[in-house]
A and B are shown apart, each in its own frame.
Chain A
Amino acid sequence: MSLRTVTLSTMALVACGLGAGCATQPPVPSEQLTKARALVEQADKADAQRYAPADLQRAHDELSNAEKAVSDRKYADARRYAEDAQVDADLASARASSGEAQRAAQEVNRSIESLRQESQRQTGSN
């Protein structure tokens, strides 16, 4: 192998590396967008507005950003935004569900407390 061949090979390799690392346009993140839309919709339905409004807002914003990035052909950004929208929407849903369950627990505990007091009153009056 001649010196020239080595040099060319190295340059080719570097060019290749550069291209792969930075320049190649990734594909449109359709799957991530679809999933993000579904999760945001789910969070809306889960009454996240009530229990996790900030998370829900963030998911909406990120979904918008993702869609805007797609129209700007910034697919790597679009993918990141879509993924962020997914986790934020999922978190909003989880927090909504958890908030609902905690509210139910508080209610049932309150009703237990009043039942207990009533029961003690009855015992007292016996």
Chain B
Amino acid sequence: MNRTIVSAALVAFVAGCATTPMHSDQLDEARAEVEKVSADPLAQQAASTDVEQARNDLQRAETALQQHAPQQDVDHLAYLALRHAQAGEARIAEAHARQQVAQAQDERNRIQLQAREREVQSARSSAATAQNEAAAAQNQAAAAQDELARARQEMADLQAKQTERGMVMTLNDVLFDTGQATLKPGADRALDRLAQYLKDSSGTHVIIEGHTDSVGSDDYNLALSQRRAQAVADALTGRGVSTDRLQIKGLGKSYPVASNDTQAGRQQNRRVEIVFSDTSGRFAQSSP
């Protein structure tokens, strides 16, 4: 009798509330979701509250299931766990997105910095090129100036004078014995310099003019002046100067530079003049 009452009461107790859930789809889903979010490396950092709540809810749901609580309660708790887990996932996704934004901003800074560096580099290399060009131009200018100075010095060494006919160098008669057209050894130095000059400035041509004083016949003087000019030309070709660059003129006594009345004047008139062209072979004005 007593046993029957107790059994009946127990049956009533159990059956009175709800059917006993042995399984809940909602709980399965919640378990999977909670497990998934817990496994995410960012879970602790980005969604610790959500994950903790989800686990609590899940634990309560499991307990409810074990204690045969009504299906409705188990499902409700499982739903809370599921939604907390999903919120956790959303917050993890948000954290990922924020990381991306931060990285992208770093990347943007890096790209902009690179662009600026390239600009600077480009400006620098332009500047360097300009500087090199300027330096080269300066070197050229310096070289040209050196060349000019050297030419001037050489002209000075040749004791050439600027005249309206251009640069003119005079070899006076002490280089020849009287009445002779043979150059004396004393002429060597002047001829060496002249030959060297002509070799250095390859565009320059010369006119070699023989002159005499007024003593003697015109024919004699013309022939003598011609021979003296030829002697100088031969001396130059002997020193390696091309004959193409040399013109020879015997001008006799027609172009004195001093009076023929005095000994000194006549001596000045007995001479060979070398007239220089410019470096492209042009003469300042045609010689007589």
Contacts and interface: CB of A to CB of B under 8 A. Distances in A.
B5 interface: yes
Contacts of B72: 80
B91 A119 contact: no
Interface in A58-89: 80, 83-84, 87-88
A24 interface: no
A92 B97 CA distance: 17
A87 B79 contact: yes
B80 A87 contact: yes
Contacts of A98: 90-91, 93-94, 97
B211 to A, nearest CB: 70
A97 B16 CA distance: 45
Given A18-B16, A123-B118, A84 B104 contact: no
Interface residues of B, number: 37
Contact of B108 (A17, A87, A102, A112): A112
Contacts of B76: 80, 83-84
Interface stretch (B7-15, B127-135, B183-191, B245-253): B7-15
Describe A's contact surface by its main secondary structure: helix
B105 interface: yes
Interface in B1-28: 2, 5-6, 9-10, 12-13, 16-17
B227 interface: no
Nearest to A77: B72
A108 B97 CA distance: 10
A22 B13 CA distance: 9
Contact of B87 (A3, A80, A87, A104): A87
Contacts of B122: 126
A87 B88 CA distance: 11
A115 interface: yes
B93 A102 contact: yes
A109 B83 contact: no
Contact of B104 (A101, A109, A123): A109
Contacts of A25: none
B111 interface: yes
Contacts of A84: 76, 79-80, 83
B67 to A, nearest CB: 11
Contacts of A91: 83-84, 86-87, 90
Contacts of B16: 18, 21-22
Contacts of B105: 108
Nearest to A101: B97
Contact of B13 (A21, A88, A102, A112): A21
Interface string B97-132: 110110011011001101100100010000000000
23 contacts: A6-B2, A14-B9, A14-B10, A17-B13, A84-B79, A91-B84, A94-B86, A95-B90, A98-B91, A101-B97, A101-B98, A101-B101, A102-B94, A108-B100, A108-B105, A109-B104, A111-B108, A112-B108, A112-B111, A115-B108, A115-B111, A126-B118, A126-B122
